[in-house]
Chain A
Amino acid sequence: MTLFLIAMLIVVALLLVEIPVAFAFGIGALIFAYTTGNDVSFLIPHGFKTASGFSLLALPLFIFAGILMAEGGISERLLNFVNAFVGRIKGGLGAVTVLTCALFGAISGSSSAAIAAIGQIMIPRMVREGYPVGHATALVACSSVLALMIPPSIPMIVFSITGGLSVGAAFLSTIIPGVLLTGLYCLLNFWFLRNDENIKVDAPLQFRQAAKGVLNSGLNAGFALLMPILILGVIYSGIATPTEAAAIAVIYAIPVGLWIYRGLSLRTLGSATVKAVTMTGSIMAVLFFLFIMSRAMILEQIPQELATSLLQLSDNKYVILFLLNILLLLIGMLVDDISGSVLAAVIFLPVIQQLGIDPIHFAAVVGVNLGLGNVSPPCAPMLYMAGGVSKLSLDQYITPTLKFLCFGHLPMVFIVTFIPELSLFLPRLLLGY
C-alpha cells in the first residue's frame, strides 16, 4: 500500500507539472510495477487486450458522431430552438445557454465541444444583452458538464466497460440527475440576475407568433434533436448494441451535415474524422496506461486493501458514500473525467460491492462527482476553457462559478448520493434492472 501511495504521489506531481495524464499514469504504473516486482512485459498484453475489447469501439464512434453533428452546424439551430421558448424573459438567454448545453451534450457527448460550440456564440451574445461577463462565462463552464450526464456520455461508457456494467443502464442512471441539474442551473441563473438592471429583454410575442417561432425553429433543429432519440431508441428497443448505435449515429450525421444542414463538406468530413481519431487517441492513451496501472494494482490487491481501510473507518454505507464523494471530488479536481471514471471503477467498485450499494447508482454518483471536479480548480479543464473563450482570467469569473457550484452542482451530488431511487428509477423502468 505504501508503494502504491508513493506511485500515486508521483502521478499527482507529474500531473501538476502538465505531463500528459496518460504518461503520468504510465510512469506511475512503471514505478509501481518495478517496486512491487511485477513484470511490465505481462502488463502490456493486458492493457492491449482490454483496450481491444469490442464494446469499447462505442467510444470512437460516439466521439465521431458528436464531432460530425457539431461540425455540421447544429449549434445555431439548437440555440434558436431553445431561444424560441425562453429567450424573451429576463435571464432567458442564460437559460437558453444551459438548455442548449444539455441538448448539445445529448448529441455530442462532449463538454469541451459544448463550450467550443455554444460558449463561442452565447458568451458574446449574453454580454451584448447586458449580462455580467463573469456570470456568462461561469454559466457556460458549469453547464458544459451536463454533457457528461446526459447520454451518450463518454465517461459513463468507460466506467461501465471498466467495471463490467451495462452501458445502457449506466447511461440511464444519470439522465434524471442531469435533467434536474439543468433545471437548477436555469433557476439559479434567473435568481442571480433578478436585480440586474442592465439586462436587456426583447418584448414578448403574441401566442401565435411565439408558436410559429417554436414550430419553425423546431423543424430547423429537428434532425439534430432526432439524433439522441435515435441513439437511445435503438439501444433500449434492443435493435442495436451501444457500439452499433454509435455507428448508426455516424451514418445518420454524415448526410445530415453534408446535404441537410450543409455545414459539412467532403473536405471537412476528412477534418472531422481526423479530429475524432485524435480525440479518441488522447482518451485511449489514458485508458491504456490506466488499464496497465489497474492490473498492477489488482495483482497487489490494492482495491481490497483500500476497501478494508475504508470499511475500518465505518461500516455505515452513508458515511462511506460521503467519504467516497470527497475522494471522487478530489480525483475529479486532479484528473480528467475519463481517467476519473476508470479510477473510480477500479478502486471504488470493490468497496461499493462489499457495502451492498448498487453499482449503477454508484455510476450516477461518479458521473455527477466527476462533472463537479471538471469545473473545480486546480485542474478544471472546462473552467479554463470557458475562460479562454471569453478571454477572462480565472479571478474574474471564479466567484460566479463557485456560486453556481455551491448552490447547484454540490447539492445535486448529495441528492444523487443519498437518494439512489433517483438514478435507479429509469434503469428499473426501461431495462427491468
Chain B
Amino acid sequence: MSHQDPLCAIDRERVFDYDPELSSHPAVPPRSNALLQNGNGGGKNLISKIERALDWTFRALMVTTGLALAFLMFAQVIMRYILESSFTGIEEVAVLLGVWIYFLGMGYATRVHEHIHGGVISLIVSDPLKLGVIRFAGSIISMIAACIFGYFACKYALFVIDKGRLSINLQWPRGLWSGSMIVGFSMMAGYFFLDAANQFIAIRALRRNQT
C-alpha cells in the first residue's frame, strides 16, 4: 500500500476513548494495536499482507458507506422540498447503508480497540504480566462470544437469503441487509483472535524477560 494512498493516510487517533489506562498508570503497558503489524514479519509475511489488504478494504467501505448515507439523506430533504417528490426507496437504501456502517464499524472497532469498556483492572493491577493474562482471557472470552453470536447471525442471514426475500420498494434481496451481520461478526471474531494471539506472544516475551 503506497503512502500516497489517501486511505493509507487515515490516522488512527482515538476519539471515543474510554480506556482507564489513559490515567497514565506508570506500570500499565499500552494495548498493542492491530497486531501482526508489530510482529516479527516486518509486514512482509503473507498474513500481514492479507491483514493490510483487508484493512484497506474495510476503510474504503467505511468511507464509502458513511459519505453515501449522509448524501442520500440530504438528497431526500432536497427531493422533498425542491423537486417536491420523495422516493420511498431512499429509506430502504439508507437502512442498507446504515446496517453496513454499524457492522463494519463494530468489526473495525475491534481492530483498533475502540469498543467501549470500563473496568478497574488497569488501575489496580500494576504487574504487566498479570494484566497481560487478564487481557488475553478477555480477548478469548470476547472471541467466543463473537463466534457464538456470529453463528446465530449467519444462521439467520442464510435463512433470509435462502428464502429469497425481497425488499418492499426496491425488490432487492434482503440478504444484502442481513449479510452485513456475517461480515461484522467475522471481523470481530477474527480480530479478537489476532488480538489474543498478539497478547499470548507478549505474555511469553514478558515471562522470558522475568526469568
> What string of 1s and 0s marks CB contacts (under 8 Å) between B109-134 and chain A?
10010111111111100000000001
A110 at the B interface (CB under 8 A): yes
A19 partner residues in chain B, CB cutoff 8 A:
117, 119, 138, 141-142
B201 at the interface (CB under 8 A from A): no
A52 to B101, CA, bound (A): 11
Nearest chain-A residue to B155 (Cβ)?
Answer: A41
User: Do most interface residues of chain A lie in helix, strand or loop, or is the interface mixed?
Assistant: helix
Q: A110, B16: Cβ atoms under 8 Å? A: yes
Which chain B residues border A30 with CB–CB below 8 Å?
145, 148-149
Number of A-B contacts (CB under 8 A): 257
Q: List the A side residues contacting B25 at CB < 8 Å.
A: 393
What's the Cα separation between A284 and B40 when bound, in Å? 34
A44-B152, A52-B98, A281-B101 are known contacts. Are A18 and B24 too (CB-CB below 8 A)? no
Residue of B98, B102, B112, B134 touching A17 (CB-CB under 8 A): B134
| 18 A–B contacts from the bound complex (CB under 8 Å) | A18-B121, A40-B152, A44-B181, A48-B181, A61-B73, A64-B66, A247-B72, A270-B6, A273-B63, A278-B105, A282-B109, A289-B149, A378-B123, A381-B18, A384-B18, A388-B19, A388-B24, A393-B23
CA distance A20 to B20 in the complex (A): 12
Is A199 on the interface with B (CB-CB < 8 A)?
Answer: no
Bound CA–CA A67/B10 (angstroms):
14
Q: Is the CB of B121 within 8 A of A16?
A: yes
CB proximity of B49 to chain A, nearest CB, Å:
21
- How far in angstroms is the closest Cβ of chain A from B109? 4
Bound: A129/B9 CA distance, A = 37
Contact B105 A57 (CB under 8 A): no
CB of A240 within 8 A of CB of B77, answer: yes
Contact B105 A247 (CB under 8 A): no
Residue B71 is within 8 A (CB to CB) of chain A in the complex: yes
Are B148 and A275 within 8 A (Cβ)?
Answer: no
Task: Decide: B119 and A54 in contact? CB cutoff 8 A.
Answer: no
Which residues of the partner chain A approach B120 to less than 8 Å between Cβ atoms? Answer: 16, 378-379
Residue of A nearest to B92 (CB): A54
* A243 and B74 alpha carbons, distance in the complex (Å): 10
The residue on A at minimum CB distance from B112 is: A278
Give the residues in chain A near B18, CB-CB below 8 Å.
Answer: 112, 336, 381, 384-385
Contact B102 A51 (CB under 8 A): yes
Instruction: Tell whether, in the assembled complex, residue B22 and residue A384 are in contact, meaning their CB atoms are under 8 Å apart.
Output: yes
Assuming A51-B102, A280-B102, is B141 touching A23 (CB within 8 A)?
yes
| Number of B residues, CB within 8 Å of A | 75
A residues in contact (CB < 8 Å) with B: 14-23, 26-27, 30, 40-41, 43-45, 48, 51-54, 56-57, 60-61, 64, 67, 70, 110, 112-113, 116, 239-240, 243-244, 246-248, 250-251, 266-267, 270-271, 273-286, 288-289, 334-336, 338-339, 378-379, 381, 384-385, 387-388, 391-394
Shortest beta-carbon distance, B151 to chain A, in Å?
9
**What's the Cα separation between A388 and B30 when bound, in Å?**
13
Structural contact, B135 and A18, CB atoms closer than 8 A:
yes
CB atoms of B103 and A281 under 8 A apart: yes
Most buried by B among A18, A112, A248: A18
| Chain B residue with the shortest CB-CB distance to A30 | B148
Q: B9 and A16: CB pair below 8 A? A: no
Using Cβ atoms and an 8 Å threshold, which residues of chain B touch A392?
A: 23-24
Given A18-B138, A381-B118, answer yes or no on A277-B105 (Cβ-Cβ < 8 Å): yes
Q: How far is the CB of A265 from chain B (nearest CB, A)?
A: 9
Are A17 and B15 neighbours in the complex by a CB distance under 8 Å?
no
Asked if A18 and B108 sit within 8 Å, CB to CB, the answer is no
Closest Cβ neighbor of A385 among chain B residues? B22
Known: A18-B117, A381-B18. A57 touches B94 (CB 8 A): yes
Chain A residues near B188: list those with CB within 8 A.
285
Q: Does B84 contact A (CB under 8 A)?
A: no
In whole angstroms, how far apart are the Cα atoms of A116 and B177 in the complex?
A: 35
